[in-house]
Structure 1
Amino acid sequence: MPHKFISFLISLLFALSFQTVFSQSTPKIRQLEKERNELHKRISESETLLKSTGKDVKSQLDNLSLITGQISERKKYLSSVQKDINSIQQEINRLESELKTLGAELKQKQARYEKSLKYLHRNSSIQEKLMFIFAADNLSQMYRRLRYVRQYADFQRLKGEEIKNKQAEITEKKKVTEETYNAKVELLRHQEAEKKKLEEQEAERKKILSSIQNKQIQIRKELEIQRKAANRLNSEIDRLIAIEVEAARKKAEEERRRRQAAAKKKATEEQDKPVKEQMDVYRVDESDSKLSGSFERNKGKLPVPVTGAYVIIGHYGQYQVEGLRNVRLDNKGIDIKTKQGAMARTIFDGEVTAVFQYNGLANVLVRHGSYISVYCNLESVIVKKGSQLKTRDVIGQINTDADGNTVLHFQLRKETAKLNPEQWIVR
C-alpha cells in the first residue's frame, strides 16, 4: 500500500536521523575529555619532580630549567583546553541550530495533522463512510474505496507517530545540548584553575630569576663548564656516528656489487654496460630503507625515550634563556628530566651500534635504518653492541647526580644530520 509504505519510510528515516545526531555529540565530548585528561595527568606527574635544594648557581639554573619546562607544558595544555572550549561551543551552536530546525518541522507537522484531523472529524461518521463505499458504481470500485478508507486511517495513525517521534527527538536533542553546555561550563572552571597554577609557577620562576640576576659571572662559568663537557660528548658521538655511517656505506656497496655480479651472470649481454655509483654517498641496504620508511611515517608519534614522569628542560638548537641577559644555549638534542630510577627506552625498532663510556657514564647509539637515536647520561645499561631492540625496549637506567637531578640527554640524527627530537616524539 503506497501511503502506508511511504509513512513507514518516513518514520524509519526520522529514527535513523535521530540516532546519528545523538551519536555525534556526546562521544565527541568524551573523546576531547579523554585526550585532555591524558595531557593533564602528564603535567601533574611532572610537578612531582624534585627541585634542587642547593643555593649555588648550578642548582638555581637547574631549578630554573625545570620550572620553565613545567610552565611551557602548562601553556600548551591551556592552549589545548581553549581549543576544546571552542570546539564545544561550535557543538552547542550546531545543536541549537538543529533544535530550531526540528522545532519548525514539528510545528509544520502539527499544523498539517491538525488540518487533516479536522477534515476527518467532519467526515468521520460510520454512515458517511458507508455511503462513500456503497455509492460505488461496481464491486471493484467499492473495494478500492474500502481500501482507501483503511489506508487513510493508517496514514493518520502514522502521522501521529511521526509527531510523537519528532517530539522525542527534540527532547533528546535538548538533553544533549544541556550536557554539552555543562561540559563547557566545567571546562571553563578547570581552565581558570589551571591559569592560577600557571601564575604561581611564573611567580616562582621570577623569584629564581631575581636571585641569580646579579650572578652573571658565576652563570657564565657554570655554562662554560657545561658547554665544554657537551662539546666533548658531541665530538665522541659524531666520531662514532661517522664510523657507523661509513660501515653502512661499505655494507651497501658490497650489496650493490653482489647484485651487480648476479645481474651480470643472469644477463651476460649487459656485462659491458657501465654501472656508475657515487661512492662517497651514504646508502643503506634494502632492509634498512624499509625501516627508515617506517621511522619517517611515525614522525610526531614516537614514544618519549624515558619511563615515568618527565619534563623537557633543554630544547634543541640555539636559543636565548628568557629572563637572563646574554645567556644563550646551544643544544644538539634535548634534555629530559625525570624521577630517580627512571629508565631510558628506545623510540623505535633498531640495532645497538655502540655503547661507550664518557665521564664514568654510559651512552648508547641505536640505528633505525638511516636514522640514529642517541641516549646519554646512563648509570647502567642492559644492552650491548648488536642487540636487536623493539620500540619501548629498556636500554638502561638514567643517572641521578649529586643534586638529585635525573636527566637523559637525547639526540636524533639522519645519517650525520642533526634533527630536532621534539618534532619526532609524541607531545
Structure 2
Amino acid sequence: MMKHLFVLIICGLCLATPLSAQSNKLIKELENKRGTLQRQIAETESLLKNTKKDVGSQLNSLAVLTGQIEERKRYILAMNNDVELIDRELKSVEQQLGALRRDLREKKKKYESSVQYLYKNKSIEEKLMFIFSAKDLSQTYRRLRYVREYATYQRIQGEEIVKKQEQVTAKRNELKQVKAAKVTLLNDRESEKAKLEAQEKDKRTLVGNLQKMQKGLQQEISKKRREANQLNARIDKLIAEEIERARKRAEEEARQEARREAEARKKTEGGARPSAKETKGGKRDDSEAERASTGARKKAEPLESYSMSKADRELSSSFINNRGRLPMPISGAYIITSRYGEYAVEGLRNVKLDNKGIDIQGKPGAQARALFDGKVAAVFQLNGLFNILIRHGNYISVYCNLSSASVKSGDMVSTKQNIGQVFSDGSDNGRTVLHFQLRREKEKLNPEPWLNR
C-alpha cells in the first residue's frame, strides 16, 4: 500500500510539469517570414510606373510586371506552406488538449475517491483508533506515517487538479490563437490571389499592346541582343585573361613548392652519405644537383593540373559552402525582372530572351554590393557604363550597368561591400537595373540558387 502511495505521489509530481506551448513561437516565425516577403512586394510595386507607349518602355514594364507576378506567386506559395504548418500545429494542440482533459478527469476521479475515504474516516478518534490499535510499536509508527503521507497525497492531488485545470485553460486559449491565425492567413491569401489575378490581367493587356507592335518589338529585341552579345564578349575575354593569370600563379606556386622539396631532399641526402660524384676540388657535380631538382619538380607536377593557388582553393571552398546564403548583389528593395537562361516571353510570338545572368531592378540610388569576399579582377567601361568582375577563388561574379565604380582592379573586397552605384535611366522614369552574372571559370551559372531570397 505504501509503495503504491509513493508511486501515485511521484506520478502526480511528474504530471505537474507545465507543458511548453510552441504555437505562439511558430506563428510569430511564420508571420515574420511572410512579413519580409510582403514588404518586398510592397516596396517593388512602385517600380512599375512607366506611362510611355514606346516598345522599349512597354517591354520593360512587362519585365517588371512579370517579376512582380513571380514574387506574388512565391508569397502565395509561402502562405500555402504556412497553412499546412498551422494545420499540423492545430491538430497537435487539439491532441494535447484532449490528453490534458483526460488527465484532468482521472485526477478528479482519484481526488474524489480520496475525499470519500477521508469523509468515511474523518474523526480524530477513528484515526487514533487506527494508529493505537496496532499490535506493536513498529506497526504504530508505520500507521502514523501512513496517515500523514495520505494527507500529503490528498493535498498534492488537490494542487495537481488546480495546475492541470490551468494547463487545460492555457491550451484552450492556445487553440483559439492558432485557429485565429489560420483564419487571418486564409483571408490574406485570398487577398493576395485577387491582387495576383489583377496583375495577370494587366500583363495580358500589356502583351496585347506589344503584339500590335510586332515589328518594333523585334527591332527592340535585336537591339538588346546585340548589346548583350557585345557585353558578354568583353566579359568572356576578361575572364579568360583572369583564368590564365590564375593558372600562372598556381604554376609558379607549384614550382616553388617543388624547388623547396628538392632542396630539402638534397640536404637530407647530403647529410646521410657523401656524394658519389665529386670534382677534383672536392665539390659535388652541379649537373647531379640539377637533375635531382628537375626530378623532384617533375614528380610534383604536371603543372597543367594546377589551375588555382592554395588561397584560391580555400576561397572557392568557402564560396561553395555559402551556396543559397549569399546576399543579393543590390542594396534596398529589388525585383528580378529577367531570369537566367533562354526562354520565350509568354504571350509574344517569336520573342526569345537569352540571359547569361539575371536582371535585378532596384530603386534609384541603389548600390551594387560584392557577393562575397574576393579580389577585383577587372573594372571596364562599355557604352559609358562601368562593369566589375570579382574573383572568389575559381568563381567570378560580374556586376554590370553601373554609373560609377568605387573599386579598382586588384582591390580586395568583403561581403556586402558597396562597389559602385547602379545606373538610373533618367529617360525611362529612373529605371535602375543591375545585370548580374556568376561564373565558375568560363562556365556560366544560374545565380538564383546561390542567393539568399
Tell me if both proteins adopt one fold, taking TM over 0.5 as the criterion. Answer: yes
- 1:390 correspondence with 2:414: yes
For residues 408-423 of structure 1, what are the structure 2 equivalents within 5 Å?
A: 408-423=434-449
SS in structure 1 at match of 2:46: coil
- 1:300 correspondence with 2:324: yes
Alignment-derived partner of residue 86 in structure 1: 84
Unaligned runs of 5+ in 2: 270-291
Q: Relative to 1, partners in 2 of residues 1:117 and 1:147: Cα closer, same or farther, differing over 3 Å?
A: same
What amino acid is aligned across from residue 227 of structure 2 in structure 1? A
Aligned counterpart for 1:334 among listed residues 347, 351, 358: 358
Alignment-derived partner of residue 254 in structure 1: 252
Choose between structure 1 and 2 for higher RCO, CA contacts under 8 A separated by at least 6 residues: 1
Q: Distance in 2 between matches of 1:281 and 1:245?
A: 13
Once the two structures are TM-superposed, the CA of residue 9 in structure 1 deviates from its matched residue by: 4.2
For residues 19-418 of structure 1, what are the structure 2 equivalents within 5 Å?
A: 20=20, 22=21, 24-268=22-266, 272=295, 274-275=298-299, 277-281=301-305, 283-401=307-425, 402-403=427-428, 404-418=430-444
Q: Distance in 2 between matches of 1:282 and 1:234?
A: 26
Please say if residues 90 and 178 of structure 2, whose CA atoms lie closer than 8 Å, have aligned partners that are also in contact.
Answer: yes
Q: Relative to 1, partners in 2 of residues 1:12 and 1:56: Cα closer, same or farther, differing over 3 Å?
A: same
Please say if residues 438 and 446 of structure 2, whose CA atoms lie closer than 8 Å, have aligned partners that are also in contact.
Answer: yes
Once the two structures are TM-superposed, the CA of residue 140 in structure 1 deviates from its matched residue by: 2.2
Q: Distance in 2 between matches of 1:199 and 1:157?
A: 63
String of CA shifts for 1:124-155, please: whole Å, max 9, x gaps: 22111111111112222211211111011101
Please say if residues 3 and 151 of structure 1, whose CA atoms lie closer than 8 Å, have aligned partners that are also in contact.
Answer: no
Q: Relative to 1, partners in 2 of residues 1:15 and 1:306: Cα closer, same or farther, differing over 3 Å?
A: farther
What amino acid is aligned across from residue 314 of structure 2 in structure 1? K
The runs of at least 4 consecutive aligned structure 1 residues that moved more than 6 Å come to 1-5
Q: Distance in 2 between matches of 1:312 and 1:391?
A: 21
String of CA shifts for 1:252-289, please: whole Å, max 9, x gaps: 11111111111122223685454264544562111211
String of CA shifts for 1:284-334, please: whole Å, max 9, x gaps: 111211111111111111111111111111110111111111211111000
Alignment-derived partner of residue 14 in structure 1: 15
What amino acid is aligned across from residue 264 of structure 1 in structure 2? A
Please say if residues 351 and 368 of structure 1, whose CA atoms lie closer than 8 Å, have aligned partners that are also in contact.
Answer: yes
String of CA shifts for 1:77-113, please: whole Å, max 9, x gaps: 0000111111111101110011111111211222222
Q: Distance in 1 between matches of 2:213 and 2:305?
A: 49
SS in structure 2 at match of 1:267: helix
SS in structure 2 at match of 1:329: strand
Number of equivalences? 424
Once the two structures are TM-superposed, the CA of residue 17 in structure 1 deviates from its matched residue by: 4.5
Q: Distance in 1 between matches of 2:12 and 2:405?
A: 67
String of CA shifts for 1:336-364, please: whole Å, max 9, x gaps: 11111111111111111100010111100
SS in structure 1 at match of 2:174: helix
What amino acid is aligned across from residue 107 of structure 1 in structure 2? R
Please say if residues 48 and 61 of structure 2, whose CA atoms lie closer than 8 Å, have aligned partners that are also in contact.
Answer: no
How high is the TM-score relative to the length of structure 1?
Answer: 0.95
Q: Relative to 1, partners in 2 of residues 1:15 and 1:235: Cα closer, same or farther, differing over 3 Å?
A: farther
String of CA shifts for 1:12-62, please: whole Å, max 9, x gaps: 4334341x2x1x211111111111101111111111214322211111100
Q: Distance in 2 between matches of 1:15 and 1:422?
A: 50
String of CA shifts for 1:209-252, please: whole Å, max 9, x gaps: 11111222211111011101100100000000000011001101
Please say if residues 352 and 388 of structure 1, whose CA atoms lie closer than 8 Å, have aligned partners that are also in contact.
Answer: yes
Q: Distance in 1 between matches of 2:440 and 2:9?
A: 63
Q: Relative to 1, partners in 2 of residues 1:262 and 1:359: Cα closer, same or farther, differing over 3 Å?
A: same
Q: Distance in 1 between matches of 2:413 and 2:87?
A: 46
Once the two structures are TM-superposed, the CA of residue 6 in structure 1 deviates from its matched residue by: 5.1
What amino acid is aligned across from residue 123 of structure 1 in structure 2? N
Please say if residues 63 and 338 of structure 2, whose CA atoms lie closer than 8 Å, have aligned partners that are also in contact.
Answer: yes
Q: Relative to 1, partners in 2 of residues 1:9 and 1:383: Cα closer, same or farther, differing over 3 Å?
A: farther
Q: Distance in 2 between matches of 1:129 and 1:117?
A: 15
- 1:426 correspondence with 2:452: yes
SS in structure 2 at match of 1:47: helix
Q: Distance in 2 between matches of 1:307 and 1:320?
A: 29
Calculate percent identity across the aligned residue pairs: 49
Once the two structures are TM-superposed, the CA of residue 11 in structure 1 deviates from its matched residue by: 4.5
What amino acid is aligned across from residue 331 of structure 1 in structure 2? N
Q: Relative to 1, partners in 2 of residues 1:5 and 1:359: Cα closer, same or farther, differing over 3 Å?
A: farther
Q: Relative to 1, partners in 2 of residues 1:277 and 1:325: Cα closer, same or farther, differing over 3 Å?
A: farther
String of CA shifts for 1:163-215, please: whole Å, max 9, x gaps: 22111111100111111111111111111111111111111111111111122
Q: Relative to 1, partners in 2 of residues 1:241 and 1:12: Cα closer, same or farther, differing over 3 Å?
A: farther
What amino acid is aligned across from residue 382 of structure 1 in structure 2? S
How high is the TM-score relative to the length of structure 2?
Answer: 0.90
Q: Relative to 1, partners in 2 of residues 1:360 and 1:173: Cα closer, same or farther, differing over 3 Å?
A: same
SS in structure 2 at match of 1:348: coil
Once the two structures are TM-superposed, the CA of residue 10 in structure 1 deviates from its matched residue by: 3.5
SS in structure 2 at match of 1:357: strand
